[in-house]
Structure 1
Amino acid sequence: MDELREPRFWDKPIEALTRTQWEALCDGCGRCCLHKIEDEDTGEVIGTNVACRLLELGTARCGDYRNRRALVPDCLRLTHRLAREVPWLPSTCAYRLRAEGKPLHSWHYLECGDRDAVHKAGVSVIGKAISEVLAGPIEEHIVEDDFWPDEDGVTK
């Protein structure tokens, strides 16, 4: 954990981060745990508000992070390379921001010291998602781009 005491480690290039520092970049929004639909004709990725069954909707945290890939085989382990390549990471995502060489938002806990700031900014899934266990047909849960606040936490 000493590596997390390194001043502003999150400003380093993502390739220079240790695994612990990389994991610490996560702002805890839970949006990467929402199911997406890919249009077979266009390849467009369409967002939904349907969460993986492991996502705890009251905290926006994975209920079994350590074993998630065994329990949910299509769960993606986000890497430095993937952070640059996957088109569905939200514009607010710390991994995406740092992969693009951009700074973290002021509400990110590494910047402000408040783990709940992401929720207060309205950027997380809390109060906005439904578990896949309860959702029914995923096509009934497509969300528009303005469903999520912009980078500053302002709903469009």
Structure 2
Amino acid sequence: MRLNLLSPLKSNPKSSADATNATIRPQFWTRYTLAELNHSEWEALCDGCGSCCLIKYIDEDEDGDVDESLVEYTDVACQLMNCETGYCQHYDTRQHYVPDCIQLTVDKLPDMMWLPAHCAYKRLYKGQALPSWHLLLTQDAVATQQQMRAVNIGVAGRCVSETGMADEEMETRVVNWVLP
């Protein structure tokens, strides 16, 4: 099965109008469950690596379960990815351009364990700590970016667009720098 991309949720997982404009509570990731996070907190968990927007190949067994170790990421990104910066060019309206863009929600997360091992959503779901370089811990965007590069995290400058690429060519572009 080929999976195109995934983008973090842009609406509150609790669907509360008040929570959409809520501020980020101190150390929220250690004090609340993922289902208890407001929109701002949910979004703050994303480290912006862009790995979820890469084309990936996922094999499911007959029950639909995925063996994380068999997931293969390519260096081919969604057509909306700016491969220089590693950011979506139309994040807020992405589904207008890419209708099958999967939105990460707390309800869908259990079926998305193919996310990268460093992903804060996946780590917190599994009861693991945030990576030491995460912006919520460092409180320094430059330090976070430098540390992410040092541990080989992120697609900026390392991906190519899917635009005009044949499926056969994508299959030859599997990389080992994203680990599920």
TM-score w.r.t. structure 2 length?
0.72
Match of 2:47 among 2, 13, 27: 27
Helix, strand or coil at the partner of 1:124? coil
**Cα gap change, 1:142 to 1:67, in 2 (>3 Å):** same
Task: Write out the 4+ residue segments of structure 1 that deviate beyond 4 Å after TM superposition.
Answer: 39-44
Unaligned regions of 5+ residues in structure 2, if any?
Answer: 1-20
Unaligned regions of 5+ residues in structure 1, if any?
Answer: 151-156
CA RMSD in angstroms, aligned pairs only: 2.4
**Cα gap change, 1:148 to 1:119, in 2 (>3 Å):** same
**Cα gap change, 1:38 to 1:102, in 2 (>3 Å):** closer
Q: Which has the higher helix share?
A: 1
Distance 2:72 2:133 in 1: 26
Output the amino acid matched with 2:23: E
1:154 corresponds in structure 2 to none
Does the alignment pair 1:88 with 2:118?
no
Instruction: Give the conservation status (yes or no) of the 8 Å contact 2:86–2:157.
Output: no
Which residues of 2 match residues 1-156 of structure 1 at below 5 A? Answer: 3-4=23-24, 6-11=25-30, 12-39=32-59, 44-115=70-141, 116=145, 117-133=147-163, 135-136=165-166, 137-144=169-176, 147-148=177-178
Deviations 1:11-58 (A, max 9, x none): 221111002210111000000000112348886532111100111122
Structure 1 window deviating more from structure 2 (94-103 vs 109-118): it is: 109-118
Output the amino acid matched with 2:153: V
| 1:91 Cα deviation after fit | 0.6
Aligned residues: 147
**Cα gap change, 1:118 to 1:2, in 2 (>3 Å):** farther
Identical-residue share of aligned pairs (%): 37
